[in-house]
Amino acid sequence: MAQHNEFGQISEDRAAAYLMAHGYTIRDRNWRLGHKEIDIVAQKNGELVIIEVKARKNDHFGDPADAVTDDKMRKLVQAANAYVRYHRISWPVRFDIIAITGEPGCQKVEHIEDAFYPPLD
């Protein structure tokens, strides 16, 4: 596995562990349907939570959460719609970002709840 892919996997594992430690149930990881993809699908308190994980080894290139662009948000909303239809879910949906900074073993986790709302276009 390429080193950047390994770092990404370690970071997603860290994000999932963080969520479970905070009372979330993980429904899916790296869920795909065609070209649509969601890093983590979780649930808590009757809400479906779509989570985008962004990780950087340092902050030299800015906050990892800033890498979630408008285009990425639109793609996540499309993927969430597909997930909800596929699984016939009627719960409210929330979009979160987990931003991870640092080397494995000493990563800082920032959980941004309600990070964005679906674009209206």
Say if pTM beats, i.e. exceeds, 0.85. Answer: yes
CATH class of domain segment(s) 3-112 = alpha beta
* Amino acid 40: pLDDT: 98
What is the mean pLDDT of the segment spanning 93-107?
Answer: 88
pLDDT digits (tens, 9 = 90+) for 30-70: 999 999 999 999 999 999 999 999 988 777 667 778 788 88
* Amino acid 63: pLDDT: 78
* Amino acid 98: pLDDT: 96
DSSP type of residue 21: H
Phi, psi (5° rounding) for residue 81? -60, -45
Average pLDDT of every residue of the chain? 89
Is the pLDDT reported for residue 117 higher than 90? Answer: no
What is the band of 121 on the pLDDT scale with cuts at 50, 70, 90? low
**How many CA atoms are closer than 13 Å to the CA of 10, on its beta-carbon side?**
17
